Structure 1
Amino acid sequence: MGRTKTENRKIGGHDAKDMKKAVDLVKNGMSIHKAAQECNLKYSTVRRYVKKHDTQNNAGFVPNYEVNAIFSREQEEILKAYISECALMFYGLTAKETRQLAYQLAIANKLKVPSSWLYNQMAGIDWLRSFRKRHSDISLKKPEACSLARATAFNRTNVQLFFNNLKEAFQRYSGFEDGTRVYNLDETSTTTVQKPQKVLAPKRSNVCKVTSGERGVLVTTCCIVSATGHALPPAMIFPRKNFKAHMLHGAPAGTLGLASPTGWMNAELFVEVMNHFIKHSSASKENPALLILDNHESHLSIDALNIAKSSGVTILTVPPHTTTRLQPLDVGLHGPFKTFYNAAVDSWMLRNAGHAFTIYQIAECVGQAYLKAMTPVNIISAFKKCGIFPFDESVFTEEDFLPSVVTDRPDPQIEDNVVPSSPSILLDLEIESPQIPFGALDDSDQLPKFKQPEINANAQEESARPTMTTLEQKRQDSVPRITISPRPSTSRQEKTFITPKKIRLPIKAGPRNTKRRRTLGKSMIVTDTPEKNKIEENKKKIKGLKKVKKSDIFKKKTKKEQKMEKVEIRYCDTSSGDETFCASGSSSGGEIFLNDSEDDDTMILDDEIISKPLPKNPKVGDYVIILIETNKKKKYYYVAKILEESSEAEYDYFVSYLKLKSKVFYKFAEPVEPDMAGVFKNDIKFILPDPNIEGSSRRQATYTFPINLSLLTFPF
């Protein structure tokens, strides 16, 4: 059975001062027994140190427990700093990766390691436990998942743009600066299935908590709070076609009730929410209000923007994927609200045992949670943490921007004398050396030659550093460095330590994609005339695009129609600069039409061509079309790859069928589990040309053939 904890080592408990006194007494003629009794030490320990000092003049007086240490204290500090930086960049190292990195560091720096490290190609588990014990500020945590977009969107450029717009808005009206007219609006989900709270239960037993169903029904709750600490009545959107007054039973006083088939906010409903906000905030031209919200499509309704502008409401949007840091409701209010809401649903289920919790009881639970969560203390603290009120554009530190360092790239429009944003932590002890892929240092013969500058030679150290541009110099000067005071020079530390950044590949994204089809969202004051006109113009052009029904996309077309309709319905607005705003018929922004670049002479397969005999015999590796007829005399075609010719009399070939992934582009993929099926030669109706393969791995690769298959019936 494996150990669960490290054994405690028996270490000496004597002090160096007492041992020195005992050794001096023995040298002055006192017996070892009397010297040990006088200094309250053990006889055997004093006797051992007396013998050691008889042969060694510079011997110590306490045990040297670091004699077998792999890394020195300074080297472990560098390793700890690298582990912390990776974790703050959201690319933290696991326990196994840390042990592998320690082994690579030891081999790269030619340090003496135990034989078990060489055998396992990683440091031992005891070393990791001791390392964590020596550095108590490093702990093993389960990280929270964070999308790449959210991690990289919160960068210095986006945040600074938001604060610049916020400062501009504050300067327009004096009431904005004191926070009395600053509001935040955002939606959150309230469902009929709550997240159960922790309960007391017997040990070694599986415990469940009753919910009203497996999946909840969504009711959107739109919250509005002010920087002064008060909350306006919310708006609730129920998943119904028509709203009924009894749906708001128990909701906070003044709550606006709305209905939509999905339960989500949309552009039409947001117009009513805007009127609700103007009514309860008393916004007007003489008493303006500043409303901060995200740039969701429903919030950019032209009708709502016109109403807001005519009523003196200035709308400021936060950058996409940054609401968890820049929006007060997300930062400090939705969390407590969800906690109190789940507790209210648990209480209702307990009082009404055996009854299902429906959307008609949600308002009651929202009413209880809204009063407990939207308190003045919580609201004021949330605005302060975002730096909105009191206004503080330096509320976020370089540590907050570390995750975005991965995708930081120099802006060609920025001059060399401008310092880029979000630099990573740099170590003073790093030196310039080539990058070594992880796992490439197994043999000491393969180690590269590193420069070893003298440690205490400032002039030589400056000359040994590589030349850097003004941009790089200012970037390093603006970053807080980790300063490590060196220990007295020993033979072990005369060599320059190869840092982890020289062993592992840098955590950095590749070149930026310059073929972006849509503009990225940004913070802007959408009620300003230029921004509002631009949004209105884009919406009008998108609205004028031809709409295609989903049933028409998969409708079977004749050969003539196939040639006539190879047109992509697409609009691109290039007036916004280098990036273009594009709209397509797909709700996800993708392309659902055939491309213009497709050749008109592409062969189109139909039943007439398929019925002709094969010009040659199929061979191993060919992609073929196989016809299978069902008992109801229906014909289905399959694409398969010939694996081998059969020597049995039962079949002629063994094939592997491909799965149809897209009926629009006729993309095929290999099955998840490899299979083999036998077919006759008469079942093979056509030999396909070599496919175009997209994707790197086998399970992600897709196959498209330079031939039109739209007239054949493939099972999906």
Structure 2
Amino acid sequence: MRTYKRKTTRCSYTTEDLKNAVKAVNDEGKSVNAAAKKFGIKRMTLTRFLKKLNEGGDSSMGYTTPRQIFSPTQEDSLKKYLLQMASIFYGYSPKDVRRLAYECAAKFDIKIPPSWTANKMAGKEWLSMFLKRNPELSIRKPKPTSHASHPKSLNAQNVKVFFEKLAEAMDRYGFTAADIWNIDETGVSTVMKPNKIVAAKGKRNVGAMTSGERGTNVTVVTAVSALGNNVPPMFVFPRKQFKTHFLNGGPPECIGAGNASGCVTDEEFYHFMQHFIKHVKPSIERPVLLVLDNHSSHLNVKTLSLAKEKGVVMLSFPPHCSHKLQPLDVSVFGPFKKYCAAAKDAWLRNNPGKTLTIYDIPKIVADSLPFALTKINIVYGFQKTGIFPYNAHIFGEEEYSPSFVTDRSEPETIESEKDPVSSTEPYPTLCVSTSQVEPEAGPSIKKNETIDLRVFSPEIVRPYPKAGPREATKTNRRKRKAAILIDSPEKNALEE
């Protein structure tokens, strides 16, 4: 029976108990009855075991696993393969796993039931028992991940360049926890995702009141330090003309701005940089480090000039790596969104029949942001990202697994190569992508490697996916990477 559970401890002795009993009979001269009583074994069981050993049989006992297609070693190899495929974001569906099992059995001449051959896949029963024998595996619903963003950018080389730049800045200026800051923005919508509620069991449609079908976003910009301090936020409203009454009920000393989109542009970020300098009070004699992403509004020459003049050292993250490297993304904005949803829910209950508008957002943020901007959350974010305390090895190999598929060297450009010394291109090193290094060795089979079919390996049947060679480009388009933005080479190149 598949789900049978033992109801008694009868006959629960091990092979070791039987061997000790046999040793007592053969070496110590005890009778079968005495040895059986001493070790708690049935007399007839010990008699059969003695006879089996004396006739030259093996010492195995108990039930075997009849009709199991793959051996434990083969199933372990299959399990590791499935885990690796999931870690690089190319996991298999249950039906694909069943097809893979059939293909592996056919490739390695393993005896299979006729139904596998007829359907070209393993049965549902096999998959169910395979998952039960390997509790590390389960059927999960994956989160959609864009091919153009996180997987290819979060690789060991990009992260290494960032930490090298971070170490350079810390060694040059001697920054402490109070001097290291992070700036980022997030959107707060007038329409929230409803929280779970208690309703009738089995009812198919359960609703919750919201302010509308589609919400309007207000951007909130804030800054935090590795010591746990924070700067009052700035609100960017989707209005061309900003009015001070938009901020009624907002956090103390907050500021606001407005534009047609409600997103942060060069002008709004320059305004927030002035706000940041006013509260942090950096200087040339006592500079501060500001880590931030590579958003275009952060690369404005006017803002970089202000930062350099006031003693703000700006260090950018590699593109599409802020979900792992940015402290605000790691430990603050997640809790903030949850507290924000609870505050919106409370507002709707306290104002029945009314619609939540963008002018109510500052009050919502004032009620929820302090719960997320706690010292514990902020300090943990800097620790988790390895920024402070400095830890260049904060991420393990599993963090870089999704980039395995696209990790490959860059091709030469179609244009004739220019001497970097004599070239008229200003600061050509900025054109070098951090992915131009040779890719690290991955789990896939190397070219011209001899395949031993005697060793069971699902990778032989379905090799790990690997992107083809990069196509040669016609232009030397600059690719952003981690950089100290106020350094003269970087700043001059941006001005150019």
Cα distance in 1, alignment partners of residues 349 and 295 from structure 2: 38
Cα distance in 2, alignment partners of residues 168 and 84 from structure 1: 37
Cα distance in 2, alignment partners of residues 163 and 127 from structure 1: 47
Partner of 1:85: 84
Partner of 1:170: 170
Amino acid across the alignment from 1:510: G
Cα distance in 1, alignment partners of residues 38 and 273 from structure 2: 87
Q: Is the 8 A contact 1:183 1:292 kept in 2?
A: yes
Instruction: Give the TM-score, by structure 2 length.
Output: 0.84
Partner of 2:159: 159
2:483 pairs, out of 500, 521, 524, with 524
Cα distance in 1, alignment partners of residues 368 and 468 from structure 2: 46
Report the 3-state secondary structure (helix = DSSP H, G, I; strand = E; otherwise coil) of the residue aligned with 1:219: strand
Q: How many angstroms does 1:311 deviate by? A: 1.0
Task: State whether structure 2 residue 255 is matched by structure 1 residue 256.
Answer: yes
Q: Is the 8 A contact 2:24 2:35 kept in 1?
A: yes
Q: 1:382 to 1:78 in 2, by over 3 A?
A: same
Partner of 2:408: 409
Report the 3-state secondary structure (helix = DSSP H, G, I; strand = E; otherwise coil) of the residue aligned with 2:272: helix
Amino acid across the alignment from 1:523: A
Partner of 2:416: none
Deviation readout 1:371-403 (Å, 9 max, x if unpaired): 000111111110111111111111111221111
Q: How many angstroms does 1:409 deviate by? A: 1.6
Cα distance in 2, alignment partners of residues 278 and 137 from structure 1: 50
RMSD in angstroms over aligned alpha carbons?
3.2
Cα distance in 1, alignment partners of residues 173 and 37 from structure 2: 83
Q: Is the 8 A contact 2:411 2:470 kept in 1?
A: no
Amino acid across the alignment from 2:376: V
Report the 3-state secondary structure (helix = DSSP H, G, I; strand = E; otherwise coil) of the residue aligned with 2:80: helix
Task: State whether structure 2 residue 495 is matched by structure 1 residue 497.
Answer: no
Amino acid across the alignment from 1:217: T
Q: 1:122 to 1:51 in 2, by over 3 A?
A: farther
Cα distance in 2, alignment partners of residues 94 and 501 from structure 1: 17
Q: Is the 8 A contact 2:233 2:251 kept in 1?
A: yes
Task: State whether structure 2 residue 294 is matched by structure 1 residue 276.
Answer: no
Task: State whether structure 2 residue 340 is matched by structure 1 residue 341.
Answer: yes
Partner of 2:428: none
Deviation readout 1:617-641 (Å, 9 max, x if unpaired): xxxxxxxxxxxxxxxxxxxxxxxxx
Cα distance in 2, alignment partners of residues 283 and 341 from structure 1: 32
Higher helix share: 2
Partner of 1:179: 177
Higher mean displacement: 243-252 or 186-195: 243-252
Cα distance in 1, alignment partners of residues 132 and 63 from structure 2: 18
Q: 1:332 to 1:425 in 2, by over 3 A?
A: farther
Q: 1:10 to 1:44 in 2, by over 3 A?
A: farther
Q: Is the 8 A contact 1:186 1:222 kept in 2?
A: yes
Q: Is the 8 A contact 1:525 1:531 kept in 2?
A: yes
Partner of 1:585: none
Amino acid across the alignment from 2:183: L
Report the 3-state secondary structure (helix = DSSP H, G, I; strand = E; otherwise coil) of the residue aligned with 1:264: coil
Cα distance in 2, alignment partners of residues 160 and 228 from structure 1: 24
Cα distance in 2, alignment partners of residues 249 and 77 from structure 1: 61
Partner of 2:298: 299
Q: Is the 8 A contact 1:224 1:234 kept in 2?
A: yes
Report the 3-state secondary structure (helix = DSSP H, G, I; strand = E; otherwise coil) of the residue aligned with 1:171: helix
Q: How many angstroms does 1:348 deviate by? A: 0.8
**1:321-400 equivalent positions in 2, closer than 5 A:** 321-400=320-399
Cα distance in 1, alignment partners of residues 43 and 123 from structure 2: 36
Q: 1:244 to 1:23 in 2, by over 3 A?
A: same
Task: State whether structure 2 residue 1 is matched by structure 1 residue 8.
Answer: no
Cα distance in 1, alignment partners of residues 389 and 286 from structure 2: 20
Task: State whether structure 2 residue 316 is matched by structure 1 residue 317.
Answer: yes
Q: How many angstroms does 1:117 deviate by? A: 2.0
Amino acid across the alignment from 1:188: T
Cα distance in 2, alignment partners of residues 342 and 133 from structure 1: 38
Report the 3-state secondary structure (helix = DSSP H, G, I; strand = E; otherwise coil) of the residue aligned with 2:408: coil
Amino acid across the alignment from 1:172: R
Q: Is the 8 A contact 2:88 2:401 kept in 1?
A: yes
Q: Is the 8 A contact 1:235 1:257 kept in 2?
A: yes
Deviation readout 1:267-320 (Å, 9 max, x if unpaired): 112111111111111022222121111111111122111111111111111111
Cα distance in 1, alignment partners of residues 17 and 299 from structure 2: 78
Q: Is the 8 A contact 1:401 1:422 kept in 2?
A: no
Q: Is the 8 A contact 1:19 1:61 kept in 2?
A: no
Partner of 2:190: 192
Q: How many angstroms does 1:227 deviate by? A: 1.0
Report the 3-state secondary structure (helix = DSSP H, G, I; strand = E; otherwise coil) of the residue aligned with 1:303: helix
Cα distance in 1, alignment partners of residues 112 and 4 from structure 2: 22
Higher mean displacement: 92-101 or 353-362: 92-101
Cα distance in 2, alignment partners of residues 395 and 250 from structure 1: 40
Partner of 1:639: none
Partner of 1:424: 442
Q: 1:6 to 1:151 in 2, by over 3 A?
A: farther
Aligned pair count? 464
Q: 1:106 to 1:433 in 2, by over 3 A?
A: farther
Q: Is the 8 A contact 2:229 2:375 kept in 1?
A: yes
Report the 3-state secondary structure (helix = DSSP H, G, I; strand = E; otherwise coil) of the residue aligned with 2:399: coil
Cα distance in 1, alignment partners of residues 211 and 320 from structure 2: 32
Q: How many angstroms does 1:521 deviate by? A: 1.8
Cα distance in 2, alignment partners of residues 87 and 61 from structure 1: 38
Cα distance in 1, alignment partners of residues 307 and 53 from structure 2: 91
Report the 3-state secondary structure (helix = DSSP H, G, I; strand = E; otherwise coil) of the residue aligned with 1:86: helix
Q: Is the 8 A contact 2:411 2:472 kept in 1?
A: no
Cα distance in 2, alignment partners of residues 422 and 210 from structure 1: 51
Cα distance in 1, alignment partners of residues 50 and 113 from structure 2: 30
Q: Which structure ranks higher in relative contact order (CA pairs < 8 Å, sequence separation ≥ 6)?
A: 2
Q: Is the 8 A contact 1:52 1:59 kept in 2?
A: no
Cα distance in 2, alignment partners of residues 335 and 136 from structure 1: 30
Q: Is the 8 A contact 2:32 2:46 kept in 1?
A: no
Cα distance in 1, alignment partners of residues 411 and 472 from structure 2: 13
Amino acid across the alignment from 2:219: T
Partner of 1:711: none
Amino acid across the alignment from 2:114: S
Q: How many angstroms does 1:37 deviate by? A: 8.7
Partner of 2:418: none
Report the 3-state secondary structure (helix = DSSP H, G, I; strand = E; otherwise coil) of the residue aligned with 1:338: helix
Deviation readout 1:334-374 (Å, 9 max, x if unpaired): 10111111111011111111111111111011012210001
Cα distance in 1, alignment partners of residues 275 and 398 from structure 2: 40
Partner of 1:508: 466
Cα distance in 1, alignment partners of residues 43 and 117 from structure 2: 41
Structure 2 alignment gaps of length 5 or more: 413-431
Cα distance in 2, alignment partners of residues 52 and 124 from structure 1: 41
**1:112-123 equivalent positions in 2, closer than 5 A:** 112-123=111-122
Q: 1:50 to 1:198 in 2, by over 3 A?
A: same
Higher mean displacement: 35-44 or 208-217: 35-44
Deviation readout 1:224-262 (Å, 9 max, x if unpaired): 111111111011011112222222122211111111121
Cα distance in 1, alignment partners of residues 215 and 166 from structure 2: 38
Higher mean displacement: 22-31 or 343-352: 22-31
Task: State whether structure 2 residue 165 is matched by structure 1 residue 207.
Answer: no
Q: 1:530 to 1:7 in 2, by over 3 A?
A: same
Q: Is the 8 A contact 2:444 2:464 kept in 1?
A: no
Amino acid across the alignment from 1:343: A
Cα distance in 1, alignment partners of residues 258 and 109 from structure 2: 70
Q: 1:268 to 1:20 in 2, by over 3 A?
A: closer
Amino acid across the alignment from 2:317: V
Q: Is the 8 A contact 2:411 2:471 kept in 1?
A: no
Report the 3-state secondary structure (helix = DSSP H, G, I; strand = E; otherwise coil) of the residue aligned with 1:232: strand
Report the 3-state secondary structure (helix = DSSP H, G, I; strand = E; otherwise coil) of the residue aligned with 1:172: helix
Report the 3-state secondary structure (helix = DSSP H, G, I; strand = E; otherwise coil) of the residue aligned with 2:112: coil
Q: 1:388 to 1:30 in 2, by over 3 A?
A: closer
Q: Is the 8 A contact 1:36 1:42 kept in 2?
A: yes
Structure 1 alignment gaps of length 5 or more: 435-449, 452-495, 538-716
